[in-house]
Amino acid sequence: GCDIVALREGEPPIVVICELKLQFNLELVLQGVDRAAACDEVWLAARLSARGKGRESDARFRNLCRRLGFGLLGVTATDRVEVLLSPIALAPRKNARRRSRLVDEHQRRRGDPVAGGGSRNPIMTAYRQSALACAAAMVDGPKRPRDLKALTPIAPKILQHNVYGWFARVDRGLYDLTDAGRASLVRWPQPSHDESRHGILNASAI
């Protein structure tokens, strides 16, 4: 997944992606190249070198990013953000299907409780958030898919496919939480059932 995704007002909305690293390097640029097909604007952000001799000061590095149309953001030791290079609009390079999926996921997701920069934590997708909402509603006992449709229309799909192993069928059309499901609620605490009813987003893809 992308480190940061934002939508700027417009019709269609302007999709902005920002990739983060501890320092400017080729891997960060390659991540930007990979994201470029799914968005309208790419920013690369990293810590500024303490001595001012990092890649961000290399004219060749900046020229490469400029040719790719990428913007550069430098983060100081005091967490102040500096614009090193503004993005340049290039010829269309978008993958319409990939862009559409990204916009859909962004609009359905409720924030992102997973800290960025790590590779060992599961990505918090809209689908996972919907599954967690279903799990939270089942803490007080087994539920039928139709009981959870007010939370998300894809509740039947979530329970039947059981992608994360959080649910178990205990009777015909009746599901309960597994130990893994209860553990997921400890890892990602959820709002109360009533709050979820108002805030859950409908997800269609993992």
What's the pLDDT tens digit per position in 138-163?
A: 999 999 999 999 888 899 999 999 99
Residue 179 burial (CB count, 10 A): 10
**Rounded CA separation 205/163 (Å):** 12
| CATH number of this structure's domain 4-94, picked from the four choices 3.30.70, 3.40.50, 3.30.310, 3.30.420 | 3.40.50
Distances (CA, A) of 192 to 108, 123, 197: 19, 23, 9
pTM of the model: 0.51
**Rounded CA separation 169/183 (Å):** 18
**Range scoring the smallest mean pLDDT among 15-29, 43-57, 84-98:** 84-98
Same CATH topology for 4-94 and 126-199: the answer is no
**C-alpha closest to that of 82 among 40, 48, 55, 51:** 48
Residue ranges of domains in the chain: 4-94, 126-199
- Domain 126-199 belongs to what topology? Arc Repressor Mutant, subunit A (1.10.10)
Answer for the pair 198, 125: CB distance below 8 angstroms, yes or no: no
What's the pLDDT tens digit per position in 37-87?
A: 888 899 999 999 888 788 888 999 999 999 999 999 999 999 999 999 999
The per-residue pLDDT for 100 is 73
